Chains A and B, each alone.
Chain A
């Protein structure tokens, strides 16, 4: 019996040897082969497109579409005050949207966590639903509320507060209303999760040790959620910088934002390089403003928190 077993074993060993080093290599390299696919995907559909985007903004093509020379012509075309005004529009849209979202978002997250009580998870659920609904439906829904014969106007008219309907649509008011409405959850969710996770007994400790509510807010709550506030700020600032559907549909396309200009140029085949040059410039503007924002946030944090060093990480 044991002989049979040992012969079987030796057979097995032989077989494994016969399998040669090829399969062993395959087995060893397999994780790399499979694990490199996301990197290949990322290279082909993220880094290469961005690389070509940058190069095609400095290349002049001949009529037939072949490479002719390097040129800065496209940049020269858009280096005019009009287009700087567009970038300024987008930056201020992003800045004010972010500020309003922060001003409403932090108290909202705070109230859900500390005053939500039993309804806390229901409130979170209710916050997710508008967040997940197609935002074009939101724009559509606000038409019904803000229109001349819409909900608010008919409510105000019937109570006799106003005699003529107010023109809400096609104004900065409606643009910012929609922007804040859409981007608010991006700010609230990270702050909510950090406030939810942090040890609430720290607050009691702070109050027990004689700090008043304002000091507790400044020295404990804000430092603890600072990282979440920062990520909320970036989550709102970056997409709202490129936003163009909301201003176009809610603002009546009175002011141009970078997205409008880009889509105007790029979707027209003949002016695509100019649009791409403009895209490059606006990305540079975005990166610069992000650097400024980061610096500013650091200063604000320092000013606000002062000597609280424990919450820096």
Chain B
């Protein structure tokens, strides 16, 4: 009996921790269907908050801004990383220089944000969406370059040599041999950078100025303002989107070997 109980401990532990992770999300979603707004007790089931959500413009505007920022910075990040890998294909020994990019993760975001803010104001660059994109790209490079480098150097480089010997140009070798081999990691990392940029608050807060409103800034502002079931409805929809993105990520995960 004691042994049987002991064997259940890990399962109970899993149950409790996942309960801890999901309790707030479930409560959040549940309250989006409540006809009365929060501190008052449970009323009836309703969809009116969803209707209100789709007619309110503030949320969607900031959502759209976040989307633009995240996709542009992801694109920039993956492109810069690709350029670097192209160089490395030709000159492997330059790989050591990649350590120059490791600092992006070691410096806390707050410090990076302050640094970029004072830099932009020194150069008289107006703050807005472009500056947010720049900041997020810097952060994203701190993820994409180390991850893709590791993956790139795990590949047996004799494959590339073989391709060259058999007559492919270095560009052909890059696009037809190297890139297909790291493609899953590439997509998975890109997806991760997209999400990190989409969810980022600290860098955005420092680099946004007064005009640009992204999702995180909008949410913080509305939390300070008080609780509204419309936000709950929005959170539920966002959760569905994230589940979809995470499933996409998981389809690459096995080959990408991110974790």
Residues in chain A within 8 A of chain B (CB atoms): 31-32, 34-39, 41-42, 45-46, 48-50, 52-53, 56, 104, 107-108, 110-112, 114-116, 121, 123, 125-130, 132-145, 147-151, 154, 181, 184, 189-190, 192-193, 238-239, 241-242, 244-245, 249, 258-259, 262-263, 266, 272, 275-276, 279, 282-283, 286
Contact = CB atoms under 8 A, between A and B. Distances in A.
Interface in B91-112: 91, 94, 97, 100-101, 103-112
A292 to B, nearest CB: 15
A282 B86 CA distance: 38
B88 interface: yes
B24 interface: yes
Given A45-B116, A53-B114, A144-B24, A242 B202 contact: yes
Given A48-B119, A52-B122, A258-B110, A130 B25 contact: yes
Contact of A276 (B31, B118, B195): B118
A80 B145 CA distance: 40
A139 B14 contact: no
Given A46-B103, A49-B119, A35 B111 contact: no
Interface in B182-218: 195, 198-199, 201-202, 205-206, 215-216
Nearest to A185: B21
B112 to A, nearest CB: 8
B83 A34 contact: yes
B108 A242 contact: yes
Given A35-B87, A52-B119, A137-B235, A189 B259 contact: yes
A58 to B, nearest CB: 13
Given A41-B141, A181-B24, 11 more contacts: A35-B94, A36-B87, A38-B81, A52-B122, A56-B122, A104-B17, A111-B13, A128-B246, A143-B227, A144-B24, A259-B202
Most chain B beta-carbon neighbours within 10 Å: one of A38, A50, A121, A262: A38
Contact of B137 (A45, A134, A279, A283): A45
24 contacts: A31-B86, A35-B86, A36-B87, A37-B80, A49-B115, A49-B118, A53-B118, A53-B119, A112-B14, A114-B10, A126-B22, A132-B245, A134-B199, A136-B201, A138-B24, A138-B25, A139-B223, A140-B223, A142-B24, A148-B39, A193-B259, A239-B108, A244-B110, A283-B111
Contact of A31 (B31, B91, B109): B91
A242 B145 contact: no
Interface in B12-36: 13-14, 17-18, 20-25, 27-28, 31
Interface string B232-259: 0001001100110111011000000011
Given A34-B87, A42-B101, A52-B122, A136 B115 contact: no
Contact of B97 (A39, A128, A135, A189): A39
Contacts of B103: 46
Contacts of B205: 263
A50 B41 CA distance: 51
B69 interface: no
A interface: dominant SS: helix
Contact of A140 (B41, B118, B138, B219): B219
Nearest to B12: A111
Given A142-B24, A259-B202, A238 B86 contact: no
B90 interface: yes
A266 B205 CA distance: 12
A242 B202 CA distance: 9
Contacts of A130: 21-22, 25
B198 A134 contact: yes
A213 B54 CA distance: 56
Contacts of A31: 86-87, 89-91, 170
Contacts of B106: 238
A52 B115 contact: yes
Contact of A181 (B21, B38, B112): B21
